[in-house]
Amino acid sequence: MSWPEGNIMICRTDAIGDVVLTLPLSGYLKKSMPDKKVFFLGRTYTKPIIESCKNVDEFLNWDEIQHKEEKEIISLWGKWNIGIVLFVFPDKNISRLAKKAKIAHRVGTAHRWFHWLYCNHLPFFSRRKSDLHEAQLNFQLIKPFEEPSFFSLEKLYSLTGMEQKFELPYWVKEHFNKEKFHLILHPRSKGSSREWGISNFEKLIQLLPSERFTIYITGTKQEGESMPGLLKDLPDHVIDLSGKLSLEELISLIQTCDGMVACSTGPLHICAVSGKHAIGLYPPMRPLHPGRWKPIGPEVKIFSIDKNCNDCRNGGNCPCIENIRPNEVAEYLIGLTEETKIQTINI
């Protein structure tokens, strides 16, 4: 087995966390084959993530490309000499266009019926039933060309290649005191994960001493509007930034702060690959459990109840994640301020 000629296009047109966990694959490809260009086909809202990765040669915006004439798309892919496309996230229309463009090697999981029509490499593997981490599973798509290595999460972190590229707004900088631990709380998940609950975040804020912590609450405008109780009458050391930051500014905030507490969301994954303290709150239920979706980074701490449970499989609140005690999370965070020197990025 060997890699064929042509540049590589990674197709991952879904959410922020999924894109972050695909960065190790792009890092491996770039380091293994520096003569090939690695293109990353994503969406507008993930552009800042992909453009922060030193292992991606060029970001391709599907939100813009999809409105072009098919013959123009095909011409562009030919111009870029794309010889291999890896459908890390399956997309029927993009795979159809890839075949029409005569991209020589089109790789997609055999578990999607339309890949049988449009792809010519169909590795068999199941994400849902696997014990591997999501970032490890992505490497199954290189099977047609080499036997994939099952890298440790530590090795995968070294392949992410996230860099600091964005400026923190001046009006956020003024809150920084290098003697304190700057902590982000990201309570919501846009429905992509089970949530800890607003009351637990309220208790956590009460448990963290104001002389040690400055706390930033983040989320979209809609998420901020969904938690008025949490954001009402905040003490001086707690700053509400919900709906006030672009993704570029949120990335900069994450890379400037010391840590974050969140459920399984994209911002938590950004925090982890930025080398910050990523404190994740996870349900034990497969396939949402931390074994599949925990962040990858050197300072990751997971809180999850050790229990075989499927009570919330059909949606609704998750008692398992809600029963993670705020005082346990607070004790861990306070311990970070006692045992380690806080090293905030220069601002």
Distance CA 320, CA 285 (A): 9
Distance CA 18, CA 7 (A): 22
The rounded Cα 87 to chain-centroid distance in angstroms is 17
**CB-CB contact of 259 with 336 (8 Å):** yes
What is the per-residue pLDDT across 282-305, written as a single tens digit (0 to 9) for each? 998 887 889 999 999 999 999 998
Long-range contacts of 104-113 (CB under 8 A, 24+ apart): 104/4, 104/5, 104/6, 105/4, 105/6, 105/144, 105/145, 107/141, 107/142, 107/144, 108/141, 109/140, 109/141
Instruction: Sketch out the chain's domains with CATH numbers.
Output: 7-158 (3.40.50.2000), 170-339 (3.40.50.2000)
pLDDT, position 129: 76
User: What does the longest C-alpha to C-alpha distance in the chain come to?
Assistant: 63
Q: Which of 156, 3, 14, 36 is nearest to 87 (CA)?
A: 14
pLDDT tens per residue across all 347 residues of the chain? 689 999 999 999 999 999 999 999 999 999 999 999 999 999 999 999 999 999 999 999 999 999 999 999 999 999 999 999 999 999 999 999 999 999 999 999 999 999 999 999 999 987 877 889 999 999 999 999 999 888 999 999 999 999 999 999 999 988 888 889 999 999 998 777 788 989 999 999 999 999 999 999 999 898 888 888 788 889 999 999 999 999 999 999 999 999 999 999 999 999 999 999 999 999 988 878 899 999 999 999 999 988 777 766 766 677 788 889 999 999 999 999 986 544 444 44
Q: What is the pTM of this model?
A: 0.94
pLDDT, position 215: 97
H/E segment holding residue 259: strand 259-263
Residue 315 burial (10 A CB sphere; 0-12, 13-18, 19+): exposed
pLDDT, position 314: 65
